[in-house]
Amino acid sequence: MKLVCETSVVNRNVPATRRGFQRTILAIGKNSEKKSDETVIMLKTTENKSGSKYELKGNISKIFTRFVSEGKATISFNVPEHDVQIKSEVIQLTTFLKQLKAVLSGEKPAQNRTNSPAATLGKLSCLSSVANMKSSVLSSTKTFSTKCVIRRRSDYPLKGFSRNLVTLQISDIKLIRFDPQILLLRSLRILNLSNNCIEKIPRELGQLNLTDIDLSGNALQNERWEWLLEPTIQNRLQNLNVGSNNLSYFPTNLVYSKGLVRLDLQRNHIQKLPFAVWKMAQLRLLNLSGNQIASVPESMVRMRLEQIDLSENNLSQNASTVQDLRMSSNINQVASLCELAARVVVARKIPYSPATIPFVLVEMMHRTPICGCGLLCFTTKIYERVKVVRLNCQQLIMNSNHMLYADCVFCSQRCSARS
């Protein structure tokens, strides 16, 4: 079992001798081919090419795994009195520690679990192969690289991506399918897949701790956007670019993105914005230029935008071209049980999430329009397009001859008369 990582060795007798982290090959094995030889751990660095060996049997006082979820662990040896601090990719480090645990506990190979760490205990290799391993593994920048940029097919790594990647860019190579290897990069924070031909994004992408995603210039017009429903991406994602994707609609699942600050939807074919767009409370920069938008929801006045770009849209040039879109539902219509439940949640100001109430009800609460008085409009709705007088935005960008109108929704005739 080998682990390519970074280590720092601390001598507990002389703490001041601690060195910085070095690129290391950490391996578990035997000193020689003899069956009677004890199992040891070898540390091979660029400075110590022959490697340092530590016996395992009765020689480990403690293994610190409190921060293993961050890719960090420490192994404390009795002889010599060294603490080996390890930094590595989370999955690989976890696998290594499981193997070490199996060796220390002396578990026998399991008959029904041939891939388990215990099953490989009897197959530990001789460390002479690690000692003879070329130092190029440690000197290679790709092994420990945190950034990868691919702009040509020939740049694509044949042996897969480094598990330490924080930034990954794959642009302008006409990539048709989303590469599932990306889902293994647990340290990834910035993903750029712009200017390809990707049509579908797997839902598992929403389980990564991504803060920046660029999907512009692809073919996501039929994408279902289910990956935006994952709690991890809803809380982590801050910047998203899905411009130039032939979208004829605003991806409604975006309203669940609690931490989204910058959203770019330019150069699509979007005609309408959902009334629930105001739920994106952290959104500050919104680019909707080059679409087919004629008006915006009146609920956007509740947002605290710093900049919104509505240039090159179908906004009206004067009031005479704006049609009255009044529509009144049947006031005496019997409400559904789902709507009655939603009314109770609103009336009693009950905090709601998929963890406390059914997701169908959460979906209804998010997508139900809101009246200017603050009440949700369930059965009775009156639509009326009126000119937006004040939009809570520091910088509004649109064509000089255009006027911005809003689609307002009122919960009753009384609220409509007050407007």
For residues 115 and 200, membership in a common domain is answered with no
For residues 297 and 315, membership in a common domain is answered with yes
DSSP of 338-381: HHHHHHHHHHTT----TTTS-HHHHHHHHHS-B-TTS-B-SS--
Kind of pairing between the strands at 2-11 and 82-87: antiparallel
Query: Residue 195 is encoded by which pair of tokens?
Result: 């200017």
Flag whether 231 is in a domain.
yes
Confidence of residue 102 (pLDDT cuts 50, 70, 90): confident
For residues 16 and 151, membership in a common domain is answered with no
Q: Which of 122, 139, 156 is the last residue of a domain?
A: 139
Q: How far apart are CA 270 and CA 312, in angstroms?
A: 12
Flag whether 149 is in a domain.
yes
pLDDT at residue 130 is higher than 70: no
For residues 123 and 158, membership in a common domain is answered with no
For all residues of the chain together, what is the average pLDDT? 83
Percent of the chain whose predicted confidence (pLDDT) is above 90: 40
Average pLDDT for residues 277-304, to the nearest whole number?
Answer: 93
**pLDDT tens digits for range 322-340:** 555 555 555 556 777 888 8
Predicted TM-score of the model (pTM): 0.71
- Residues whose CB falls within 8 Å of the CB of residue 226, separated by 6 or more in sequence, listed in order: 203, 206, 253
For residues 124 and 267, membership in a common domain is answered with no
Total domain count for the chain?
2
Average pLDDT for residues 282-311, to the nearest whole number?
Answer: 94
Task: Classify 143 as helix, strand or coil.
Answer: helix
For residues 277 and 155, membership in a common domain is answered with yes
For residues 213 and 105, membership in a common domain is answered with no
Flag whether 349 is in a domain.
no
* Lowest-confidence segment of 145-154, 277-286, 291-300, 378-387 by average pLDDT: 378-387
pLDDT value for 407? 84
Beta strands in 15-91 (DSSP E): 22-30, 39-45, 52-55, 60-64, 72-77, 82-87
pLDDT at residue 54 is higher than 60: yes
Which residue range is the domain that position 33 belongs to? 2-139
Confidence of residue 349 (pLDDT cuts 50, 70, 90): confident
CA dihedral 407, 412, 418, 419 (to 10 degrees): 0
Flag whether 366 is in a domain.
no
Flag whether 249 is in a domain.
yes
pLDDT at residue 37 is higher than 80: no
For residues 154 and 203, membership in a common domain is answered with yes
pLDDT value for 173? 95
Average pLDDT for residues 99-115, to the nearest whole number?
Answer: 65
For residues 161 and 215, membership in a common domain is answered with yes
CA dihedral 169, 171, 176, 182 (to 10 degrees): 0
For residues 30 and 92, membership in a common domain is answered with yes
**pLDDT tens digits for range 235-266:** 999 999 999 999 999 999 999 898 999 999 99
pLDDT at residue 111 is higher than 50: no
For residues 132 and 210, membership in a common domain is answered with no
Query: Residue 68 is encoded by which pair of tokens?
Result: 């293993």
pLDDT value for 371? 82
Confidence of residue 366 (pLDDT cuts 50, 70, 90): confident
pLDDT value for 328? 54
Flag whether 303 is in a domain.
yes
CA dihedral 107, 112, 116, 121 (to 10 degrees): 40
For residues 192 and 304, membership in a common domain is answered with yes
Q: How far apart are CA 285 and CA 363, in angstroms?
A: 25
pLDDT at residue 119 is higher than 90: no
Flag whether 358 is in a domain.
no
**What CATH number has the domain bearing residue 210?**
3.80.10.10
Q: How far apart are CA 79 and CA 74, in angstroms?
A: 15
